Amino acid sequence: MKVIEKLQHTFALSHEGAVDMAKACICVTITNIALMMPAGVLYLLIQDLLNHSLTKERIPFYAIASVVILCIIALTNFIQYNATFLSTYKESGVRRTSLAERLRKLPLSYFGKKNIADLTTTIMADCAQIETASSHWIPELIGALISTAIVGLSMFLFFDWRLALASFWVIPASFLLVWGSASYQKKAVKSNNKVKLELSDGIQECLETVRDLRANNAQDDYMKQLDKKIDHVEKQALFTELKLAVCVNSAAIVLKLGIATTALVGGALLANGSVDLLTFFMFLMLVSRLYDPMQITLQNFAAIIATTVQCERLDEVLSHEIQTGTEQMTNDGFDITFDHVSFAYNDDTAVLQDVSFTAKQGEVTALIGPSGGGKTTVSRLAARFWDVTGGRITLGGMDISKVDPETLFSAFSIVFQDVTLFNQSVMDNIRIGKKDATDEEVMAAAKLANCDAFVSRLPDGYNTLIGENGSELSGGERQRISIARAFLKDAPIILLDEASASLDVENETAIQTALSRLIRNKTVMVIAHRMRTVSGADKIVVLADGVVQESGKPSELMQKGGIFANMVRTQNESQNWVIG
């Protein structure tokens, strides 16, 4: 149904959630109509009193009618609560799960373009805002509009169309006024979100750089800048609320005009005998009962307009193209071949151009070159963190763009330059490489990565908690845990991105010795700046300005006297530098 699809897209709902919202709107409509039923009984009672027809036989009718209406109101409220709140909380869980699943399947290039604080806001704050809208505002608004339209049409057809027009014209007028200001409200909300995000970034940056700020006596200046951001958020919030208040209050004033027009038109009609006193009284009672809750509905309408900004942000994530592919690996071996590969993070920023080389199974292929040359990008493309914009990459003859990323990752063990650890034990952090590994397998991998020596000095050995992101360990110790994960996973392809950057010479030698045992019959791709790290590589690929400048064995490149030879010579000279 188009209505269900519209609800799905507009409010970032699942199909079941959209159906539940439609049911909730119907329940609210029925509840609102049930709440108007006492007015109908009161109308009949007053009519009997004016006509002197209230007899003893009629009194039980009103008593029974009152009890029945009370039961109907209680029942409809119970059904409405279940349909509105319980289904909303269920859908909220589905939404967060769907969002997590979507994020899991998005290409990593998406996260490179997005601000992490912005994504966190989408996952937490935006979902909470939509939850409030779904449980409190949207069903109430739609239910109120439908029930009001039903009552208005009934008054128009069965009582007096002139008084009906005088009473109900203000409702569409007030809603149109709020709707007309929708673009201004959205702009205000977007500006409010922007300054809040800037403040969140500032706070996070302060926490991450507090050591450097103190070391350079810059904390006072930084806090002054942070105070300005806080003031900006406060001013923007007041400005946004002011815009919302002007729109809603203006519409509320228009709404209240209905009382005046009902009284004037009804008084004129009563004076010339066109309507009776009871009908006039009923319309006055109706507008006094109708306009106050309708004013709350106007506030809900304005809030829903503001919430569409959050819905659009959430829908942007849920609608983003994901990486897909077969879950069956059809590769013949594990040679990685770059075939005229080009890549750009943005359409106008080329990072790689016509890159071609092969990293063979059983060999170590070292990627070297100046910073920004494209080394890390090449390694990420090999594991399909991103998809190439030109050419293709194959693994054992299999085009990796046709393989599901999670299936492809099973063939890779990756050690990043920036290590991420969790506030768990050493054992648990290493076991991330293979979730069903035994303690013996974990400790064996740790020994290969030269972790055993420092782990034995920890209070509880492998069961020692290492703090947030391994704060209780040194940089070299953190790096070795990351390398131990790669050993534990024991995948056929190993990507090392400056894996020995935080190690001293002794530990670097130990790691290289362990690697030499690990890489037998495996494909190894190493990114390094220190020539000592790649001296034993089978193949060197020199990347500069996104292009393969040189490629071959270390001895061959040294004879050519090109970029590689110059880098080796320069680093040898730097080793002789002393302070003095």
The C-alpha angle 179, 181, 183, rounded to 5 degrees, equals 100
pLDDT for position 347: 61
b/e string for 192-202 if b means 16 or more Cβ within 10 A? bbebbbebbeb
pLDDT for position 338: 92
- Helix, strand, coil percentages for the chain (3-state, nearest 5): 65, 10, 25
Q: Which residue(s) pair with 92 in the sheet? A: none
Contacts of 79 (CB under 8 A, 6+ apart): 27, 30, 31
- Cα 180 versus chain centre, distance: 30
pTM of the model: 0.64
Contacts of 291 (CB under 8 A, 6+ apart): 255, 256, 258, 259
Q: Write down all domains in the chain, each with its CATH number in brackets.
A: 2-318 (1.20.1560.10), 336-575 (3.40.50.300)
Q: What does each C-alpha distance from 73 to 29, 203, 459 come to in angstroms?
A: 12, 50, 65
pLDDT for position 511: 65
pLDDT for position 573: 64
For the chain, list residues with pLDDT below 70.
Answer: 1, 7-12, 14, 39-40, 43-44, 46-54, 109, 112-117, 292, 346-348, 469, 499-515, 517-518, 532-533, 571-580
Residue type, 295: Q
DSSP 248-273: HHHHHHHHHHHHHHHHHHHHHHHHTT
CA-based nearest residue to 524, from 360, 380, 396: 360
Contacts of 236 (CB under 8 A, 6+ apart): 191, 192, 195
DSSP state of 236: H
**Other beta carbons less than 10 A from residue 109's beta carbon:** 16
DSSP 12-31: T--HHHHHHHHHHHHHHHHH
pLDDT for position 394: 92
Dist CA 539 CA 575 (whole Å): 24
